[in-house]
Copies of this chain bind each other. A is one copy, B any other.
Amino acid sequence: MNRFLDLADFTREEVTDLLALAQRLQDHPEPQALAGKILGLVFMNPSLRTLASMQAGMQRLGGTSFVITPGQGTWQLETRLGVRMDGGAAEHIREGFPVLASYCDAMGVRAFAEGKDLAADLAEEQFTAMAALINKPLINLESAVNHPCQALADWKTLDDVGVPRGGKFVLHWVTHPRALPLAVPAATLHMAAHRGMEVVVCRPEGYALPEATMAKARAAAAASGGSVTETTDRAAATAGAHVVYAKEWGCTAPYGDAAADLALRQHLNDWQVSEASFAAATTNAHFMHCLPVRRNVAVTDEVLDGPRSIVLREAHNRLVVQMAVLHRLLAR
């Protein structure tokens, strides 16, 4: 294994193997497994969990890391090809990324969607261009439409709390002051389908996930014995649910139009997960969210602070599964 860019690159068995390695490292720490290894981390966007857990993961395995935050203590990076660089960016990724890669043994890169051209984002044009410049093991720490570390952590969390493989998993749109990227909803949808679950995407009109995203999930479901459907009916969606996974994302038609999105979402403030959302769910149905989450916007305090919430376990599992990924990429 040389790259961890998309959970779809791995079969169910390979995912299960990674999760078993994660569990093994939890049960039997290997504090010297990555001694002498260096992870280079590039954050084009803010982060709390990813920044802390990647550094801690290396440290737990005896390795080290360095962090580069373009535009903050480091030059802004240009990503476009062929441009005359007379603007704010002093350095191009075509130099910056190979240079950083030459200093370390593996890299992790976080780069949100451009949010302008849906086809370009779906094709992961920016992340693919960056990845092509890095001749070292590479981890996707969130790209335009993917977040495989989050997806792997969530899969482990579902296993940890005993959610059945075929259980009902509701990816539930919730509101937010502004449009957010598709990375987590796309990765989560695929993950649940890949795990073999009965997946329902529940979202208002205008917030359908892109057809390519849905098709990828349906293919994963077909291979794993699961299913993928979508609805605008919240009551139907959550009925019998084992998991309600709340997530904010922007409207996709039009895509990347902040004004249109705001106009749409001003009527959607009631798209919030509360205890009422679990009225017809299974007993002890779980609440999930990738964090950060806006309390009393996306979800009520009551749910977040109550026994349904497994968001802290999800976040802790980021560390756990990323250690497995790092071990697989770097251990001799």
Residues of A bordering B, CB below 8 Å: 31, 35-36, 38, 40, 43, 46-49, 51-53, 55-56, 59-60, 62, 64, 66, 68-70, 72-75, 78, 81-86, 90-92, 94-96, 98-100, 102-104, 177, 291-297, 301, 304-305, 311-312, 315-316, 319
Cβ-defined contact, A46 with B60, below 8 A: no
Per DSSP, chain A at the interface is: mixed
Given contacts A59-B64, A84-B296, A85-B296, contact A73 B43 (CB under 8 A): yes
Q: How many copies does the complex hold?
A: 3
Q: Which of B46, B84, B297, B315 contacts A95 (CB 8 A)?
A: B315
A56 contacts which chain B residues (CB < 8 A)? 38, 40, 66, 103-104
New contact pairs (6) apart from A59-B64, A85-B296, A86-B294, CB-CB < 8 Å:
A52-B103, A84-B295, A85-B295, A92-B295, A95-B291, A102-B319
CB distance from A170 to the nearest CB of B (A): 21
Question: In the complex, what's the smallest C-beta–C-beta distance from A83 to chain B, in angstroms?
Answer: 7
Pairwise interchain contact B103-A319, C-beta atoms closer than 8 A: yes
Closest B residue to A58 by CB, please name it: B64
Q: A47-B73, A72-B72, A73-B46 are in contact. Are A311 and B95 (CB under 8 A)?
A: yes
A31 to B63 Cα, complex, angstroms: 12
- Say whether B316 contacts A99, CB under 8 Å: yes
Q: Can you report 23 residue pairs joining A to B where beta carbons are below 8 Å apart? A: A31-B35, A31-B36, A46-B75, A48-B70, A48-B74, A48-B96, A51-B66, A51-B68, A81-B301, A83-B296, A84-B297, A85-B295, A86-B297, A91-B291, A91-B292, A92-B292, A95-B292, A95-B293, A95-B304, A95-B312, A95-B315, A99-B291, A99-B312
